Structure 1
């Protein structure tokens, strides 16, 4: 017992240390303050707090006092708590007082560049009855060994620090949870109400990267061969995500098996984990791979890798990221549904416009054309007709006929089924013919000659698609069509010798009266037209090999 009126040795310093440890709500600040307070309380030269992993088998983070940046660099890799006195305290978390480290059989020595240390004292730090980490002190500044009183002071400080750490962890968890909730809400809002919904995968990847502090946010989607492929990647400034795109996880991979089963995968070090098989794994360390699923359907995987050497994800971060992935997947499904509804509304409106054009505009134009044609014939037979009247009426009839053709072509285009617009010439030709097949009741045959995608420039491709659309629309309105043949020849030679592309559309339908007259005029102009260089389009009628009437529409243009 201490004499009445006298203060126990070190008690004022202990009280100051306890009060100081509990003043910081930020966890990292609290941990560093604990090490500094312990060093000051005991007069130690060096101090360290080793934070243990969730399994409490190794040190995952180390806070030090008494070592500057240069000293830490000389030491190199910091201890992981698997061996030596640090490992003994990890395996048996109880107070440890060692008068001489060099004489203790549990000691394994120090790495090159490590400061000389001989006296040692260590205590476990518990949070909610669980070991959070261990506090180590070495070498008193006055050269004396650590005493049982030093050990008692350190135990009291560790007990009070456990309470402060618990409060700081609760505060950090609450703040981190709020951070992730706000991020999930922002992603949902962007996908359902904003322009970001046009690229939902990149929206999810980039937001998840920022929330988790990862080096990259990556989205993978299942492939046809039961593998997975990176389809979206978001990285920080200075990092290139292009080399990540297209990276695939081969079928049968342990990671893939777990993901396809709807289970998240947590990796401590991507570069060394045998489960990771991709070529880019060497760039990353701790990683999370989270399934994006909704309604039991897997739509992709969200991967959040950190750089090598970064701190592993905590249990709280893993839980919050998993919840974020679930909400993001639901938002993506809802965004797809919203986009599908908007597309449906657009196509329903286009279908209505097409019906109105067909039922009202085309019929009125056709009736007007018939009236003009009848007037032209009466004027041609009348002796008192004004000079040039017949030619003027004929031109008006031709203009109306051309207008009818253009309106019918527009109707045909409006009735095309919804599909993602292809970018290649072949893809666009096949899309047009597939749409025509839905209206004709059979699929037109398509044949390509030459490297169509490589040699046909975009301006010529647009003209070719317009000519094809018009020819297919004309075939659609002809009665008795049972066959349509489309041929695109990128090796054609124009009459002037230049390289060109030629489109030929053949069908076996019955031609309308106006088309027959137009075909007769075009046949008469064919010879002169073929002598001209440049674009040309025309149609003709003849007999197919089977004896059935055949209509041929031909279009050509130079490639340069």
Structure 2
């Protein structure tokens, strides 16, 4: 057999070079195919993410897709709040039991905090080898390789995407590029979701404000304030909403309406403004954000310490009135943002309009009532009194021609007619008086006292009050106070000692003196009257060089006479 000599290396050179080039070409083709596959996956992901506007769904989907495309065992996303703290942390790859055993979400320290402080990609073969790593909490699975990229749109950073434990051993530069592309898509998706949520939020508030404005204009219902409080609580997702009104002296705040947590404890309570948060808001005219409403306890504004974030919004009422709209959420819930404050201020202006309109309607009804009373009083004076007066004159003429016994009977009836005329005149004056407005005239003060005594003790007879002479002209403010005190004490004695069926109060101004006479047909004060009250009446009379007497009445009972010179 012929013998073949072995091939020389120089003869194999082109073959080896060709095989090397072919291997490189196959590797490059494989890389291109993988890149194309990842590119197709990324395009699919873009369509999925940008078409979904539910923010919570978008965030979780981003992490799930990141772990799938980059072949990671675990994935997470940290959402950054405005103060650069970790607002939300979403994990993929760990079961619910493990997450529960780990406990609270990360606070943004260590390696995670480094990405927040410097939003640049971080790729590590071993997490433990990095000086910024602070280890893992108890029950946390151990992790080796790490890839973190920021989620941003232009200059706005929304958070970071974290991937750990590459199934290929460690993350490659291609993995980092793909993660950055995914993070860019995620940033757009988050921005779109937030813009959409913001649009829905403002649309909801705008619709509510328009509805409220329409209701304020068209509806004459007095319950607008309750409707507004309920509406703002619902829209702001608050746990407590209250309306506080400043008193006329501008020293205290009274809680006029409150719904939600602690409502029963707060309703109707009052607080001194002083250095309170509400006082600060009213003085500055600017809303105040309170990080922890529990701190308001020190300002005597509210009591439920379980409340967390709160905002206090001032508003004006009419020419000089003021109030505050307060909203609070329970501890642990999300804080109020700038948009909540803007919308709260809009609702506070509607509350101001509602209160103004309610007061205007009340004033309108009061004027209508007084006009109706004036008409009744005019009819009583022009018709009833004139007819009674004419009847009395006719009876007096008849009595002059009768025998003495009969004439006496007729004369007594004339006196009754005169007394009826006096009572009708008193009623006419009362009709002209507005019971909702405090009056300083002596007549009004006495009638208010009579009304109060009757309301406090319905079993006692209503005193018959008669005014003789220009009592309002002759009594100045101090004397009016003294007369009011005399009438109050005298009627209190009648009620206290009881059994009276008739009580008469006569206030007269004549011959330079103002006199108060209170007569009843009861059992009298007895032998042990309450000396302190009577001594007070005597002291008031002595201060004017006047007189005070308490004696049995001409027909039983008691007669009190208090008289002072003017």
**TM (normalized to structure 2)?**
0.71
The within-5 A match list for 1:6-17 is: 8-17=36-45
Residue 62 of structure 1, aligned match among 81, 86, 89: 89
Distance 1:222 1:60, change over 3 A: farther
Distance 1:278 1:547, change over 3 A: closer
Distance 1:128 1:248, change over 3 A: farther
Structure 1 position 118, deviation (Å): 3.6
Distance 1:499 1:311, change over 3 A: farther
- Contact 1:180–1:324 at 8 Å: present in 2 too? no
Question: 1:495-550, CA deviations, whole angstroms, 9 ceiling, x for partnerless residues?
Answer: 9x769999774523369xxxxxxx9xx99xx7xx44699xxxxxxxxxx9859999
Distance 1:461 1:75, change over 3 A: farther
Structure 1 position 305, deviation (Å): 1.0
Question: 1:5-32, CA deviations, whole angstroms, 9 ceiling, x for partnerless residues?
Answer: 7762433332332222123223333333
Question: Which residue does 2:238 correspond to in 1?
Answer: 214
Structure 1 position 136, deviation (Å): 2.5
Q: Matches of 2:447 and 2:417 in 1, distance apart?
A: 32
Q: Residue 235 of structure 2 aligns to a residue in which SS?
A: helix
Number of aligned residue pairs: give it.
492
Question: Which residue does 1:303 correspond to in 2?
Answer: 326
Question: 1:371-427, CA deviations, whole angstroms, 9 ceiling, x for partnerless residues?
Answer: 34544655x4499xxxx9996x7897677556545533432222223526xxxxxxx
Q: Matches of 2:255 and 2:367 in 1, distance apart?
A: 26
Structure 1 position 301, deviation (Å): 1.6
Q: Matches of 1:405 and 1:22 in 2, distance apart?
A: 87
Residue 76 of structure 1, aligned match among 96, 100, 103: 103
- Contact 1:184–1:324 at 8 Å: present in 2 too? yes
Question: Which residue does 2:488 correspond to in 1?
Answer: 487
Question: Which residue does 1:26 correspond to in 2?
Answer: 54
The within-5 A match list for 1:97-246 is: 97-127=123-153, 129-140=155-166, 142=167, 144-188=169-213, 194=219, 197=222, 200=225, 202-222=226-246, 229=253, 231-236=255-260, 239-245=261-267, 246=269
Question: 1:184-203, CA deviations, whole angstroms, 9 ceiling, x for partnerless residues?
Answer: 34444555665763573x44
Q: Residue 265 of structure 2 aligns to a residue in which SS?
A: coil
Distance 1:224 1:296, change over 3 A: closer
Q: Matches of 1:153 and 1:555 in 2, distance apart?
A: 106
Does 2:118 correspond to 1:92?
yes
- Contact 2:127–2:145 at 8 Å: present in 1 too? yes
Q: Matches of 2:48 and 2:65 in 1, distance apart?
A: 8
In the alignment, structure 2 segments of 5+ residues that lack a partner are 1-27, 476-482, 512-516, 526-543, 559-566
- Contact 2:294–2:306 at 8 Å: present in 1 too? yes
- Contact 1:220–1:229 at 8 Å: present in 2 too? yes
Question: Which residue does 2:3 correspond to in 1?
Answer: none
Distance 1:226 1:545, change over 3 A: closer
Q: Matches of 2:546 and 2:341 in 1, distance apart?
A: 71
- Contact 1:221–1:229 at 8 Å: present in 2 too? yes
- Contact 1:75–1:112 at 8 Å: present in 2 too? yes
Distance 1:286 1:549, change over 3 A: closer
Structure 1 position 110, deviation (Å): 3.0
- Contact 2:317–2:355 at 8 Å: present in 1 too? no
Question: 1:349-379, CA deviations, whole angstroms, 9 ceiling, x for partnerless residues?
Answer: 433433343333332333234334544655x
Q: Residue 127 of structure 2 aligns to a residue in which SS?
A: coil
Distance 1:150 1:275, change over 3 A: farther
In terms of fraction of residues, the more helix-rich structure is 2
Q: Matches of 1:494 and 1:324 in 2, distance apart?
A: 51
Larger Rg: 2
Q: Matches of 1:362 and 1:417 in 2, distance apart?
A: 23
Question: Which residue does 1:514 correspond to in 2?
Answer: none
- Contact 2:524–2:557 at 8 Å: present in 1 too? no
Q: Which shifted more, 209-218 or 42-51?
A: 42-51
Residue 457 of structure 2, aligned match among 457, 460, 471: 460
Question: Which residue does 2:19 correspond to in 1?
Answer: none
- Contact 1:492–1:499 at 8 Å: present in 2 too? no
Q: Residue 24 of structure 1 aligns to a residue in which SS?
A: coil
- Contact 1:446–1:486 at 8 Å: present in 2 too? no
Structure 1 position 307, deviation (Å): 0.7
Does 2:330 correspond to 1:313?
no
Q: Residue 282 of structure 1 aligns to a residue in which SS?
A: coil
Q: Residue 32 of structure 1 aligns to a residue in which SS?
A: helix
RMSD in angstroms over aligned alpha carbons? 4.7
Q: Residue 488 of structure 1 aligns to a residue in which SS?
A: helix
Question: Which residue does 1:415 correspond to in 2?
Answer: 432
Q: Matches of 1:363 and 1:77 in 2, distance apart?
A: 89
Structure 1 position 228, deviation (Å): 5.4
